[in-house]
Amino acid sequence: ENNSNALELSIALSKIGLIDDCHFVSHEVGHVAFKENPSVIENLIGMDGTMCRGGYFHGVLAAYFHDVQEDGDPFPSDYNTVCNDLIGTSNYQDCVHGLGHGMVHYFEEDLESSLQMCQDMSFYQDVLCTGGVMMQYTDNVLTRQGISKNVISNLCLQSELDIVDFVECNVSTGITLAFFTDHDFEEGSKLCELIENKQGQNYCLEGLRFEIQDSEKFKAEPLTLDKREKYQPQFVEGGSKVIDIQSPAIISNFQFEPKARLISFVIDRPQYVAMYIPNEFLSSKMIVAVNGQIPDELEVKGNVLGERVSMIRFVPDDSGLVMISPLS
């Protein structure tokens, strides 16, 4: 309750302009909460991840991994299950993103090790985790070394990162600069333009613009838990593989028949559904149907971000049974 009250106060202060944005303040609230009660899940269950855009969750995870590192303990082998008690809630994605923040606290300047831990998770877990890694990494470097042309140009080197991580790193640089400049686009733009790599500069501006717009949107019309997207991974083949599902709707009765390449589940409301499915689980030709009808809004994309993963996104007209099956 005290943690929720602290976040409510942070939101109020940001709305009246006494602080720029409550997101990073809520990181500190999360740090303090974990120090007082060193249990990740006990600090997260019952909290509202929409408050201050998940910053409290990021702070709790960062504090957890910081303590593991300070104690000289090995990196937790069960790190990818730390958030599992939150699966099925909209808070699960804040927790997985927070893992990325925490990894940087553990591995510090060893960016490659943090990214590898993210990559060992499922496709969308990796996306969320890598976003947290890059936000914490860019914040750490710019805080410790200051912002200069040399520092910011060498922050996300194209020669050292694959294309996906290069993009994410520069976008995160823009997000970080938004906080450094009190979400002032003109001031942030001047700093993005210090980046020598033109592509990196453009991605930085993209991240800066996104963060400013997202911050303003949160202050004007905060998301609610009911409306917010829920990340609901489905573990198959004994838990060794994951089918990632995102939707404001609640997923239930999930079934997967690997030999038939048949996936089915029930949605409780007509809200968009986005899925990331390992290619090995899909037929090259398939039918996506809701209550036996093919949705009007349906998008299928293979090898997303160069990975052997396909995206299926659709907007159903009704709640009910979803079936993805081979086209015979």
The tens digit of pLDDT for each residue in 88-130 reads: 888 899 899 999 999 999 999 899 999 999 999 999 999 999 9
User: What pLDDT score was predicted for residue 222?
Assistant: 64
Least confident of 22-31, 38-47, 111-120: 22-31
Q: How many CA atoms lie within 13 A of 25 on its CB side?
A: 19
User: What pLDDT score was predicted for residue 55?
Assistant: 83
Question: How sure is the predictor about 319, in pLDDT bands with cuts at 50, 70 and 90?
Answer: very high
Q: Which two tokens stand for residue 291?
A: 């209550």
Domain locations in the chain as residue ranges: 2-220, 232-326
The tens digit of pLDDT for each residue in 225-259 reads: 667 889 999 999 777 899 999 999 999 999 999 99
Residue 220 burial class via C-beta count within 10 angstroms: exposed 0-12, middle 13-18, buried 19 and up:
exposed
Q: N- to C-terminal Cα distance for the chain?
A: 55
User: Rounded CA gap, 6 and 17, in Å?
Assistant: 17
Residue 142 burial class via C-beta count within 10 angstroms: exposed 0-12, middle 13-18, buried 19 and up:
buried
User: What pLDDT score was predicted for residue 8?
Assistant: 55
Count, residues in the chain: 328
Quickly count: other Cβ atoms within 10 Å of residue 159's Cβ.
Answer: 6
The tens digit of pLDDT for each residue in 123-151 reads: 999 999 999 999 999 999 999 999 999 99
The tens digit of pLDDT for each residue in 52-64 reads: 767 888 889 999 9
User: What pLDDT score was predicted for residue 14?
Assistant: 52
Q: How many CA atoms lie within 13 A of 236 on its CB side?
A: 23
Give 267's DSSP letter: E
Give 299's DSSP letter: E
∠ CA 260-263-268, rounded to 5°: 155
Question: What whole-number percentage of the chain has pLDDT above 70?
Answer: 90
Question: How sure is the predictor about 181, in pLDDT bands with cuts at 50, 70 and 90?
Answer: very high
Question: How sure is the predictor about 215, in pLDDT bands with cuts at 50, 70 and 90?
Answer: confident
Q: Specify the amino acid at residue 201.
A: Q
User: Rounded CA gap, 287 and 109, in Å?
Assistant: 46
pLDDT exceeds 80 at position 221: no
User: What pLDDT score was predicted for residue 43?
Assistant: 87
User: What pLDDT score was predicted for residue 18?
Assistant: 42
pLDDT exceeds 90 at position 276: yes
User: What pLDDT score was predicted for residue 19?
Assistant: 47
Q: 272 by DSSP, 3-state: which? A: coil
Q: Which two tokens stand for residue 271?
A: 């809200």
User: What pLDDT score was predicted for residue 255?
Assistant: 97
Question: How sure is the predictor about 21, in pLDDT bands with cuts at 50, 70 and 90?
Answer: low
Q: Specify the amino acid at residue 18.
A: L
Q: What is the mean pLDDT of residues 64-87?
A: 94
Q: Specify the amino acid at residue 77.
A: S
User: What pLDDT score was predicted for residue 47?
Assistant: 79
Q: What is the mean pLDDT of residues 198-225?
A: 86
Question: How sure is the predictor about 186, in pLDDT bands with cuts at 50, 70 and 90?
Answer: very high
State the chain's mean pLDDT as an integer: 89
Q: What is the mean pLDDT of residues 48-77?
A: 87
User: Rounded CA gap, 309 and 298, in Å?
Assistant: 17
User: What pLDDT score was predicted for residue 223?
Assistant: 60
**What single string gives the DSSP state of each residue in 91-156?**
HHHHHHHHHHHHHHHHHTT-HHHHHHHHHTS-HHHHHHHHHHHHHHHHHHHHHHH---HHHHHSSS
User: Rounded CA gap, 151 and 154, in Å?
Assistant: 5
Question: String of b and e for 272-309 (b: at least 16 CB within 10 Å)?
Answer: bbbbbbbeebbeeebebbbeeeebeeeeeeeebeeeeb
Q: Which two tokens stand for residue 175?
A: 């997000």
- CA-closest candidate to residue 6, choices 21, 28, 37, 36: 28
User: Rounded CA gap, 290 and 90, in Å?
Assistant: 23
Could you tell me which residue, 72 or 22, shows the higher pLDDT?
72
Under 8 Å between Cβ of 26 and 57: no
